[in-house]
Structure 1
């Protein structure tokens, strides 16, 4: 058996032809996006109540702060890193059952991962949706309105409240995306969780659902996770370089 941890991961996942990749904030920190709950994360710089769905619905001031916060976020300048590109390369080899991400940065999509292989269970910052009618459009068009001085943008079609597709605290999870994620977990013959503590539910139940079926389960994360005890292998290594080398070994 290999002694190098990444080689051991490749041994465990080598027979897989339907690998489920589940990613969290740790895969995007190398793109300059702070971990939401880390020392420099957004959670430590704002009122947590501003992130609740209820506050967003009831307060024009909270909505204004939200639009300004997102329009000045480092997410707008972030670019895919080795980890995102390696996931797309895994899809190119035909081994990827799908990628379920908790991240809202859109970097898997920016790295070229096809829509049919990607589930963004917490939404993303690049699409705005009306909460009243079915209208949706690119976020940049709303950022333009905010930067032009519009304090509380509403839907140009029906006048309803609009919101990023990012899921706020207290907002229902997107049923269709959760269903797609569980379908990928059911089809998977191995699971690779990258850059996540696997502590945010119900999203974290998706890789666990696959692991319960007895398929190989590998975690790559700097720091403990809630699922270390059920993983076949835990790697305490940086997400990007680990993913890049692992995919090279699997190719």
Structure 2
């Protein structure tokens, strides 16, 4: 579990006051909201993602061996954070949605913890997909991970679709894979229309997702950034809170 960090309570109080005044708020989350749940992020020193590096999409497509290895790495990572539970940050955002204070959550995360924390699935926009299930790239048939893992461990080959024989892939967006058009369009529209854009736990270095706070700010929204470390957009933010997301947002939970 990541150690808790001190929060600038004055900045956090300003952020909470602005949130309570907002009428068309959008949440935007990155790995930091899930590190509080024990899910490792990608860039921290010693991250297990460095041992189990994701395989680029073009390599995945070109090689059955690469596909099998991608699945082995995915399940190794899943085992590391198996049993992770939603953080206070996840629950706070779900609470804001349930009170119709937040329109939607746009997330870069693939762990499904926003939904597990109580946010309705149709109000969570997953820019990088969802790692809690798999899909056939040919016919779109959904595959549960337990079935995929059983097939991999039995045959020692990359799983194939039981419906059409196509390639089965975790329902995430890999490096080099096209971003989901509908999700990006929906996120862009929300950023342009919101009156407050709340960034929680994102380093804001992954594009095109990191353009959304800029779009919101240029469209007249208040920009709040809550993160343990500095981000590239701190200079344009209206309020910056350094420290734990749960510590900052926890008081907003029902």
**TM-score of the superposition, structure 1-length normalised?**
0.91
- Please tell me whether residue 29 in structure 1 is matched to residue 55 in structure 2: no
Is the CA contact (8 Å cut-off) linking 1:20 and 1:207 kept in structure 2? Answer: no
C-alpha distance in 2 between matches for 1:98 and 1:217: 15
Indicate which of 146, 155, 161 corresponds to 2:161: 155
- Alignment correspondent of 1:211: 217
- Alignment correspondent of 1:67: 71
Unmatched segments (≥5 aa) in structure 2: 1-7
- Alignment correspondent of 1:130: 136
Aligned residues: 245
Q: Deviations over 1:30-77 (max 9, x none)?
A: 11111111113244224x5x5200111112222112112222323432
* Superposed displacement of residue 11, structure 1: 2.7
* Superposed displacement of residue 206, structure 1: 1.9
- Alignment correspondent of 1:56: 60
Judging changes above 3 Å, is the alpha-carbon distance between structure 1 residues 3 and 146 closer, same or farther for their aligned structure 2 residues?
closer
C-alpha distance in 2 between matches for 1:79 and 1:41: 19
C-alpha distance in 1 between matches for 2:63 and 2:107: 29
Q: Secondary structure at the match of 2:105?
A: strand
- Alignment correspondent of 1:227: 233
- Please tell me whether residue 202 in structure 1 is matched to residue 208 in structure 2: yes
Q: Secondary structure at the match of 1:55?
A: helix
Is the CA contact (8 Å cut-off) linking 1:104 and 1:122 kept in structure 2? Answer: yes
C-alpha distance in 2 between matches for 1:120 and 1:40: 26
C-alpha distance in 2 between matches for 1:163 and 1:72: 16
1:1-251 aligned within 5 A:
4-46=10-52, 48=53, 50-73=54-77, 74-245=80-251, 247-248=252-253
C-alpha distance in 2 between matches for 1:144 and 1:111: 28
C-alpha distance in 2 between matches for 1:206 and 1:141: 36
Greater CA deviation, 100-109 or 5-14?
Answer: 5-14
C-alpha distance in 2 between matches for 1:166 and 1:75: 17
Q: Secondary structure at the match of 1:191?
A: strand
* Superposed displacement of residue 241, structure 1: 1.9
C-alpha distance in 1 between matches for 2:238 and 2:17: 11
Runs of 4+ that moved beyond 3 A: 147-150
* Superposed displacement of residue 3, structure 1: 7.3
Is the CA contact (8 Å cut-off) linking 2:136 and 2:143 kept in structure 1? Answer: no
Is the CA contact (8 Å cut-off) linking 2:193 and 2:219 kept in structure 1? Answer: no
* Superposed displacement of residue 134, structure 1: 2.5
C-alpha distance in 1 between matches for 2:147 and 2:106: 27
Greater CA deviation, 136-145 or 172-181?
Answer: 136-145
* Superposed displacement of residue 80, structure 1: 0.9
C-alpha distance in 1 between matches for 2:144 and 2:101: 31
Unmatched segments (≥5 aa) in structure 1: none
RMSD of aligned alpha carbons: 1.8
- Alignment correspondent of 2:5: none
Q: Secondary structure at the match of 1:51?
A: coil
